[in-house]
Chains A and B, each alone.
Chain A
Amino acid sequence: MNAEPINVTGTPIRAKGEILLSVENISLRFGGVKAITDVSFDIRKGEIRAIIGPNGAGKTSMLNCINGFYQPQEGQIVFKGERRAKMRPHRAAAGGIARTFQNVALFKGMSTLDNIMTGRTLKMKKGFFWQALRHGPAMQEEIAHRRVVEDIIDFLQIEHIRKLPVGKLPYGLQKRVELGRALAMEPELLLLDEPMAGMNLEEKEDMCRFILDVNNQFGTTIALIEHDMGVVMDLSDRVVVLEYGRKIADGTPDEVKANQKVIDAYLGVAH
Chain B
Amino acid sequence: MASGTAGQADTFPKLLLRNARERASRVAFRHKDLGIWQSWNWAEVAEHVRNFAKGLHDLGLKRGEKVAIIGQNRPRLYWSMCAAQWIGAIPVPVYADGVAEEMAYVLDHAEAVFAVVQDQEQVDKLLSIADRLPHLRHMLYDEPRGLRDYDHSKLHAIEAVIANGARALKDPQAQAALAREMEQGQGSDLGIILYTSGTTGRPKGVMLSHYNVLIAAEIGCGFDGLNETDEVIAYLPIAWVGDHVFSYAQAMLAGFCVNCPESPDTVIDDRREVGTTYAFAPPRVFENMLTVTMVRMEDAGALKRRMFHYFLDVAKRYGEQILNGESVPLKGRLLYKLGDWLVYGPLRNRFGLTNIKVGYTAGEAIGPELFRFYRSIGVNLKQLYGQTEAGVYITMQPNGEIKADTVGKPAPMVEIRIDDNGEVLYRSPSIFGGYYKDPDKTAETMTADGYVRSGDAGFFDDGGHLKIIDRAKDVGKLASGDLFPPKYIENKLKFYPNIKEAVAFGQGRDYATVALNIDLIAVGNWAERNNVVYASYQELAGHDLVYDMIAKHVDEVNRSLASEPMMGGAQIKRFLILHKELDADDGELTRTQKVRRGFIAERYAPLVAALYDGSDAADISTEVTFEDGRKGVIAARVKVRDAKLYPAAVEGAPSSAKAA
A residues near B (Cβ < 8 Å) are 1-5, 146-147, 150-151, 153-155, 157, 159-160, 162, 201-202, 205, 213, 216-217
Q: Nearest residue in B to A155 (C-beta to C-beta)?
A: B145
Instruction: Given A3-B149, A213-B146, A217-B145, verify A160-B34 contact (CB < 8 Å).
Output: no
Collect the chain A residues with CB atoms within 8 Å of residue B151's CB.
1-3
Contact B127 A3 (CB under 8 A): yes
Assembly CA distance A151 to B269 (angstroms): 19
A2 touches B127 (CB 8 A): yes
Bound state CA distance, A213 and B155, in angstroms?
20
Q: Which chain B residues lie closer than 8 Å to A154 at the CB level?
A: 33-34
In the assembled complex, 28 residue pairs joining A and B whose CB atoms fall closer than 8 Å, in A order, are A1-B151, A2-B127, A2-B151, A3-B147, A3-B149, A4-B150, A147-B34, A150-B34, A150-B35, A150-B36, A153-B35, A154-B33, A154-B34, A157-B263, A159-B35, A159-B262, A159-B263, A159-B265, A160-B263, A160-B269, A162-B35, A202-B626, A202-B627, A205-B626, A205-B627, A205-B628, A213-B146, A216-B146
Q: How many A-B pairs with Cβ below 8 Å? A: 48
In the assembly, what is the distance between CA of A201 and CA of B630, in Å?
12
Q: A147-B34, A150-B35, A155-B145 are in contact. Are A5 and B150 (CB under 8 A)?
A: yes
* CB-CB contacts below 8 Å: B137-191 with A: 145-151, 155
Q: List residues of chain A with CB within 8 A of the CB of B130.
A: 2
Tell me if B146 and A217 are in contact (CB < 8 A). Answer: yes
Indicate if B288 sits at the interface (CB-CB under 8 A). no
Task: Using A3-B127, A202-B627 as known contacts, list a sample of 5 further A-B pairs with CB atoms less than 8 Å apart, ordered by residue number in A.
Answer: A146-B35, A151-B34, A153-B34, A153-B35, A160-B265
Query: Chain B nearest CB: distance from A158 CB in Å?
Result: 9
Main secondary structure of the interface of A (DSSP, over half): helix
Provide the bound-state CA to CA distance between A205 and B149, in Å.
22
CB distance from A15 to the nearest CB of B (A): 13
Interface centre among A151, A153, A160 (most CB of B within 10 A): A160
Across the interface, do B146 and A159 meet the contact criterion of CB distance under 8 Å? Answer: no
- Per the bound structure, the CA–CA distance linking A201 and B536 in Å amounts to 12
Q: Does more than half of chain B's interface fall in helix, strand or loop, or is it mixed?
A: loop
Query: Residues of B at under 8 Å CB distance from A?
Result: 33-36, 123, 127, 130, 145-151, 155, 262-263, 265-266, 269, 626-628
A66 and B212 alpha carbons, distance in the complex (Å): 67
B residues in contact with A2, CB < 8 Å: 127, 130, 151
Give the most central of A146, A154, A205, A213: most B CB within 10 Å.
A154
Task: Name the B residues within 8 Å of A4 (CB-CB).
Answer: 150
Q: Which residue of A lies closest to B630 (CB)?
A: A205
Provide the residues of chain B in CB contact with A157, threshold 8 Å: 263
- Listed residue (A147, A159, A201, A213) with the most chain B CB atoms within 10 angstroms of its CB: A159
**Chain B residues, CB < 8 A from A162:** 35
Residues in B neighbouring A205, C-beta threshold 8 A = 626-628
Please give, as numbers and ranges, the residues of chain A lying within 8 Å of B262 by CB-CB distance.
159-160
CB pair A3 B155 closer than 8 Å:
yes
CB distance from B222 to the nearest CB of A (A): 36
Shortest Cβ distance from B148 into A: residue: A217
Q: Find chain B residues with CB under 8 A from A150 CB.
A: 34-36
How many angstroms from the CA of A125 to the CA of B263 in the assembled complex?
33
CB contacts (< 8 Å) of A217 on chain B: these are 145-146, 148
Asked whether B150 lies within 8 Å of A3 as measured between CB atoms, the reply is yes
The 7 A-B residue pairs with the shortest CB-CB distance, nearest first, are A3-B150, A160-B265, A150-B34, A5-B149, A3-B151, A160-B266, A159-B262
Q: Which A residues touch B266, using CB under 8 A?
A: 159-160
Q: A217–B145 Cα gap in the complex (Å)?
A: 8
Q: Which residue of B lies closest to A160 (CB)?
A: B265
Please, how many angstroms separate the alpha-carbon atoms of A159 and B267 in the complex? Answer: 11
Minimum Cβ distance to chain A for residue B456 (Å): 36
Cα A4 to Cα B33 in complex, Å, equals 28
Chain A, Cβ-Cβ closest to B261? A159
Chain B residues within 8 Å of A201, by CB: 626
Instruction: Give chain B residues whose Cβ lies under 8 Å from the Cβ of A160.
Output: 262-263, 265-266, 269
* Residue of chain B at shortest CB distance from A151: B34
Q: How far is the CA of A150 from the CA of B33 in the complex (A)?
A: 9
Residues of A within 8 A of B265 (CB): 159-160
Chain B residues near A3: list those with CB within 8 A: 123, 127, 147, 149-151, 155
User: In the assembled complex, which residues on chain A have CB atoms less than 8 Å from the CB atom of B155?
Assistant: 3
The minimal Cβ–Cβ distance linking A270 to chain B, given in whole angstroms, is 35
Chain B residue, CB-CB nearest to A200: B536
Closest chain-A Cβ to B126's Cβ sits at a distance in Å of 10
Taking the closest CB of chain A, its distance from the CB of B31, in whole angstroms, is: 12
CA distance A154 to B34 in the complex (A): 7
Q: How many angstroms between the C-alpha atoms of A213 and B263 in the bound complex?
A: 19
Closest to A216 in B: B146
Contacts of B147 in A (CB 8 A): 3
- Smallest CB separation, B261 vs chain A (Å): 9
Residues of A within 8 A of B150 (CB): 3-5
Docked CA distance A213–B143 (Å): 15
Most buried by B among A2, A3, A147, A160: A3
Q: Once the chains are docked, how many angstroms separate the CA of A155 from the CA of B151?
A: 22
Q: How many whole Å from A139's CB to the nearest CB in chain B?
A: 15
Give the residue name and chain of the A residue nearest to B155 (CB). A3
The residues of A that contact B626 with a CB separation of less than 8 Å are 201-202, 205
Which residues of the partner chain A approach B263 to less than 8 Å between Cβ atoms?
157, 159-160
Complex-state Cα separation, A155 to B35, whole angstroms? 13
Docked CA distance A202–B583 (Å) = 15
CA distance A154 to B144 in the complex (A): 13
Distance, CA A205 to CA B123, complexed state (A): 19
CA gap between A3 and B150 in the complex, in Å: 4
| Alpha-carbon distance A160/B628, docked complex (angstroms) | 22
- The smallest beta-carbon distance between A49 and chain B, in angstroms, is 22
Q: Would you give the shortest CB distance from B36 to chain A, in whole angstroms?
A: 8
CA distance A216 to B145 in the complex (A): 11
Question: For A216, what are the chain B residues with a Cβ–Cβ distance below 8 Å?
Answer: 146
Roughly how many angstroms separate A1 CA and B35 CA in the complex, as a whole number? 36
A160 to B265, CA, bound (A): 6
Residue of B nearest to A212 (CB): B146
How far in angstroms is the closest Cβ of chain B from A37? 40
